[in-house]
Structures are given as C-alpha cells and as structure tokens.
C-alpha cells in the first residue's frame, strides 16, 4: 500500500507516528525502540510541507502529548478498570506498560497502522504477558468492526480516545458516539477522552511557553496541523471552542452527546496529572503556570444515559391539569392533559427545570392530544423550553382550538407544530 496515499486519506495515521516519535524524544525507551523499528525521522514526523517546528512548538506538543498520555492512564487506574480499549492506539508502547500491570489491553486502529504497530509493539512485551494484549484493525465509525474486535472482551471497559475527534465531521462524531454507546451498553464501563477540551488545553499550555510570541506560534501550529492532515480540524460539535461563549460551547457539546444517549462528567486534569518529564525542559515559572492552567481543563468521563427516565410530576397536578414526562436519549417527552394557564403554567416550568437539572436535554416533544387550552403564560413556558434546548420544541396531536391560539400568537412559526 502507498503510505503517502494512506496519510492523505487518514490524517490520524500520520499523527500516530508524530506521537511515538515525540515520546521517544522525551526519553521513553520503549517508544524509541518502536520509532527505530519504523525508521521514523524528525523531518518526517514533526515538520510539514510549508512550516518547520520551532523550539516553542516542539515544547508545546511534547507537553500536550505527555499530559494526555500519562493522565488518561492515571485516571483509568484510579477508577480501577482492568480492560483498556485504546481507540486509536497508534504506535505508542502503552500496551507494554499496561500488560506489565496485569491490565488487558485492546489496541484498535486503522488496519494499515495495526499491520505496522502490532509486530513492533509485541516484540517489546514479555511472552507471558502477550495474552493480555490484543490488536485489531477497525474503523471508529463502523460499529460492526468495533463489535467484532471486542467480542471476547470482558467488561467493564475503559475506552480511551486521544486526538481522534479533532479530525471528524459532525456526522462522523455522531457515528462514533452511537458506536461507543453500543459498546458501553453491551460491556459496561465508560469512555474517557480529552478531545472535547483539547483546544482549550492547547491554548492554556501555549500561553506560558510562547509569551509575546503567542499569536505567531499559534499560527505556525495551525499551519503545521493543516499541512499534515489536509482537513479542517476541530470543527465538529464535540469540540469545545475557546472562542466566544465557552460555557455555551461546552453545553452544546454536552447536548450533542445527549442526543446520542450519552452523558459526560468533567474530570479535572490537574487532579490526576503526574509529574511530567517534559516540564523539566522549560522554566519553573512556565511549568507552574501550566499546572495551574490545567485546573481549568478536563478529561470527559462519558457513560450511557438512562434509556427511559421518568420525571417526577406527582406534586404538579390539579383538577384541571395533568402531565406525564420522561427523558429518553436527551429528549424530554411530555404528555399534557387539560388546561395550561396562569395557574398551571408554573407547574409545567417547574417540571422542565427538574428535567434539566437531572438530564442533558437536547429537545422537547409534547403530546397535545389531551391538551384543551393554552394561555399566553403557557406559551411563554414553551418559549423558555425552546431557548433551553438546541433541538427545539415539537408539538404533536394539536386540536383546532390550540392550533388557532398558536396561529394567532405567531407561535406556529416559532415552534415545530406537526400537522
């Protein structure tokens, strides 16, 4: 196979080589052996078609890599999981490190990467530990390939992802989320990734290193990544952009997960980050600033949402009003009965606030078959719901009376009203 063509089609393939070479440059002997077996060079792995790697950029990349590489394993070991699924596994010697500690390791990556990585890495592992290590070629967006690769895996699983999501479109990220959810429902466990906040971590690591050259080094970094990948990186809904309203961007990413039946807990990097060798190569002040900045960045520990979770409405009923509510895959499903007016609209809003506090909501679907009337107070609650959910509010089963109210108020054009 032509590796040049492979790198153009799959930019992660080249990034994996950059990673193992960087680990080797930081003194990891096992990574150095792998890099030597693969005949990797500085020019091939670090520079791009039009830009050269500066000392500041090299320091930045090393710190980012070691932080993610060491911290993810520290978190996984703290949580006590015995089966690690590395997606993508690349060429790193993580399989050796984990197998020596009695942890089962599944390395999943593109078939061509596995063909190169497997023999190089297995040659470093003691024969009595090799039964703990499994490599398999997969496509992360192909659920059948992932299911086949892990058919013999004993759960619960810790699925780790580093540097993968930045190359995905929204549709690919969505497919990955669906596949992860499928694996977690079958095996149990969680998905651990630093990718959603990678851009934030990158900037907060770069600032102390670059100083006044921040913008210059940042542009060099962007050009280098684009040259290496030939794709527009970091543009999917799971990437929390540090530009604009960061809190809202993070909420949108959480909503994207919820729309695929997943929920996330932020795990602060600084709480688990071990001492890093790469920090010895910068000033004490720079190292301290980076450690402090890692209080603001997190890995995401992602698990499946309850498939069908009821929202308590027992205390929100009256003679003229009743409602039933449950959340499924990030959607609040609501059935209204009777009148929503100035007396009962606050109860509907209370229900919505409860659901938001307990679940990541992406949309609301309201069954109005038994809704006899809705006042302006009720319409305002619907508007609050719409503003609070990226997927909006959909009304079904509208009778003629309610439909006329919506049309007269203009809400038929604001909300999604089913025919």
Across 76-80, 227-231, 386-390, least confident range: 227-231
The three-state DSSP-derived secondary structure of 232-247 is CCCCCCCCCCCCCCHH
Which pLDDT band, with edges at 50, 70 and 90, does 223 fall under? low
- For the sheet with 83-86, list strands across it: 133-137, 104-109, 83-86, 157-161, 189-193, 298-304, 262-268
Residue 17's SS3 state is: helix
Burial class for 52, CB neighbours closer than 10 Å (0-12, 13-18, 19+): exposed
Contact 234, 167 (CB under 8 A): no
Q: 342 pLDDT exceeds 90? A: yes
Q: 284 pLDDT exceeds 60? A: yes
| pLDDT recorded at residue 307 | 62
Which pLDDT band, with edges at 50, 70 and 90, does 7 fall under? very low
Measured between alpha carbons, how far is residue 201 from residues 41, 174, 239, 291, 293 in Å? 27, 23, 12, 11, 8
Distance of CA 11 to the CA centre of its chain: 19
Which pLDDT band, with edges at 50, 70 and 90, does 9 fall under? very low
**Beta-carbon contacts of residue 107 (< 8 Å; ≥ 6 apart):** 86, 89, 94, 95, 114, 117, 118, 121, 133, 134, 135, 136
Which pLDDT band, with edges at 50, 70 and 90, does 4 fall under? very low
User: In CATH, what number does 3-304 get?
Assistant: 3.40.50.150
Q: 216 pLDDT exceeds 50? A: yes
Q: Which of 39-48, 137-146, 217-226, 228-237 has the highest mean pLDDT?
A: 137-146
Mean pLDDT of 352-376: 91
Q: How far apart are CA 124 and CA 114, in angstroms?
A: 15
Q: 24 pLDDT exceeds 90? A: no
Question: Is 309-417 the same fold as 3-304?
Answer: no
Q: Quick one: which H or E segment has residue 282?
A: none
Buried b (16+ CB within 10 A) or exposed e, 17-36: bbbbbbbbbbebebbbbbbe
**Beta-carbon contacts of residue 292 (< 8 Å; ≥ 6 apart):** 270
Could you report the per-residue pLDDT of 39-91, keeping only the tens digit for each?
A: 876 555 454 444 456 677 778 888 888 899 889 989 988 888 889 999 989 88
What ranges do the domains of the chain cover? 3-304, 309-417
| pLDDT recorded at residue 175 | 94
Q: How far apart are CA 92 and CA 105, in angstroms?
A: 12
Percent of the chain exceeding pLDDT 90 equals 50
Mean pLDDT of 304-310: 74
Q: How far apart are CA 382 and CA 411, in angstroms?
A: 9
Mean pLDDT of 251-278: 91
| pLDDT recorded at residue 149 | 96
Q: How far apart are CA 168 and CA 164, in angstroms?
A: 7
Q: How far apart are CA 213 and CA 293, in angstroms?
A: 19
Q: How far apart are CA 317 and CA 378, in angstroms?
A: 15
Bridge partners of 263, per DSSP, are 303
Bridge partners of 370, per DSSP, are 337
Q: How far apart are CA 315 and CA 307, in angstroms?
A: 24
Question: Would the CA dihedral through 229, 164, 135, 152 be positive or negative?
Answer: negative
Query: 309-417 is classed in which CATH architecture?
Result: 2-Layer Sandwich (3.30)
Q: 169 pLDDT exceeds 70? A: yes
| pLDDT recorded at residue 5 | 33
Mean pLDDT of 258-276: 92
| pLDDT recorded at residue 278 | 87
Q: What is the DSSP letter of 142?
A: -
Mean pLDDT of 234-248: 83
Q: 393 pLDDT exceeds 50? A: yes
Instruction: Sort residue 175 into left (φ over 0), alpha (ψ -120 to 50) or beta.
Output: alpha
Residue closest to 67 by CA, chosen among 225, 254, 240, 268: 268
Which pLDDT band, with edges at 50, 70 and 90, does 10 fall under? very low
Mean pLDDT of 153-177: 89
């Amino acid at each position: 196979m032509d590796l040049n063509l492979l790198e153009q089609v799959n930019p992660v393939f080249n990034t994996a080589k950059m990673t193992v070479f960087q680990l080797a440059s930081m003194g990891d002997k096992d990574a150095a052996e792998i890099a030597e077996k693969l005949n990797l060079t500085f020019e091939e792995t670090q520079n791009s078609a039009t830009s050269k790697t500066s000392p500041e950029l090299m320091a930045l990349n090393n710190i980012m890599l070691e932080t993610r590489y060491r911290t993810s394993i520290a978190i996984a070991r703290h949580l006590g999981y015995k089966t690690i699924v590395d997606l993508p596994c690349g060429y790193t010697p993580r399989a050796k490190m984990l197998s020596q500690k009695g942890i089962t390791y599944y390395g999943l990556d593109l078939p061509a990467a596995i063909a190169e990585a497997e023999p190089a890495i297995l040659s470093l592992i003691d024969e009595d530990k090799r039964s703990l290590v499994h490599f398999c070629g997969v496509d992360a967006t192909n659920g059948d390939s992932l299911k086949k690769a892990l058919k013999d895996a004993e759960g619960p699983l810790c699925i780790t992802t580093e540097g993968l999501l930045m190359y995905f479109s929204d549709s690919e990220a969505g497919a990955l989320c669906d596949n992860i959810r499928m694996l977690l429902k079958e095996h149990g466990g969680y998905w651990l990734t630093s990718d959603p906040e990678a851009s934030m971590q990158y900037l907060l690591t770069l600032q102390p290193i670059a100083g006044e050259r921040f913008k210059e080094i940042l542009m060099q970094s962007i050009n280098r990544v684009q040259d290496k990948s030939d794709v527009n990186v970091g543009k999917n809904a799971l990437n929390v952009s540090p530009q604009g309203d960061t809190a809202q961007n993070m909420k949108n990413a959480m909503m994207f997960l919820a729309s695929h039946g997943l929920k996330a807990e932020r795990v602060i990097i600084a709480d688990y980050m071990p001492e890093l060798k790469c920090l010895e190569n910068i000033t004490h002040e720079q190292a301290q600033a980076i450690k402090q900045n890692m209080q603001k960045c997190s890995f995401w520990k992602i698990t499946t949402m309850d498939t069908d979770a009821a929202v308590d409405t027992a205390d929100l009923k009256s003679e003229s009003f009743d409602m039933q509510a449950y959340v499924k895959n990030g959607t609040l499903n609501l059935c209204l009965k009777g009148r929503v007016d100035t007396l009962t609209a606050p109860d509907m809003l209370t229900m919505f606030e409860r659901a938001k506090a307990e679940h990541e909501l992406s949309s609301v679907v309201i069954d109005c078959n038994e809704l006899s009337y809705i006042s302006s107070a009720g319409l305002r609650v619907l508007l609050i719901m719409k503003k609070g959910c990226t997927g909006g509010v959909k009304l079904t089963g509208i009778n003629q009376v309610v439909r006329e109210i919506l049309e007269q108020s203009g809400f038929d054009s604001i909300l999604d009203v089913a025919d």
